[in-house]
C-alpha cells in the first residue's frame, strides 16, 4: 500500500509526497533526512493522507496535487469539493 501525503511546513507552505511508511517519512522530514526543499522548513506536520493501491497510482496523484494552487490544496485538506 502506498500513501500520498501533504505536510504543512513551519513557514505555512505545503509539501506533497508519497511513501509506504508515513511514520518513517515524517520522522525523516523532521530530522532533516527528507526532501531537501523541506529541510529548512521543519518541523512539518501531517495535514492530509490518502491510500493508493500501487506506486504508479500514488505518483500520478502526487503529480496532480503538486500542480494545484494553494487554495485547491487547502480545500482537499479540509475535505471540501
C-alpha cell at 10: 513551519
2-60 pLDDT per residue, tens: 999 999 999 999 999 999 999 999 999 999 888 888 888 999 999 999 999 999 999 99
Query: From CA 42, how far away is CA 36, in angstroms rounded?
Result: 11
Q: Which backbone phi and psi does 19 adopt, to 5 degrees?
A: -165, 165
Please give the average per-residue pLDDT across 62-73, as a whole number.
98
Q: Which CATH class is domain 2-78?
A: alpha beta
pLDDT confidence of residue 63: 98
pLDDT confidence of residue 81: 86
At residue 19, the 3 state secondary structure works out as strand
Residue 35 CB-density burial (10 A; 0-12 exposed, 13-18 middle, 19+ buried)? middle
Please give the average per-residue pLDDT across 62-74, as a whole number.
98
The domains of the chain are located at 2-78
Amino acid at each position: 500500500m502506498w500513501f500520498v501525503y501533504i505536510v504543512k511546513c513551519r513557514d505555512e507552505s505545503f509539501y506533497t509526497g508519497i511513501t509506504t511508511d508515513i511514520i518513517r517519512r515524517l520522522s525523516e522530514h523532521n530530522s532533516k533526512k527528507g526532501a531537501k526543499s523541506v529541510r529548512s522548513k521543519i518541523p512539518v506536520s501531517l495535514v492530509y493522507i490518502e491510500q493508493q493501491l500501487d506506486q504508479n497510482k500514488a505518483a500520478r496523484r502526487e503529480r496532480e496535487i503538486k500542480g494545484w494552487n494553494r487554495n485547491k490544496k487547502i480545500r482537499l485538506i479540509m475535505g471540501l469539493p
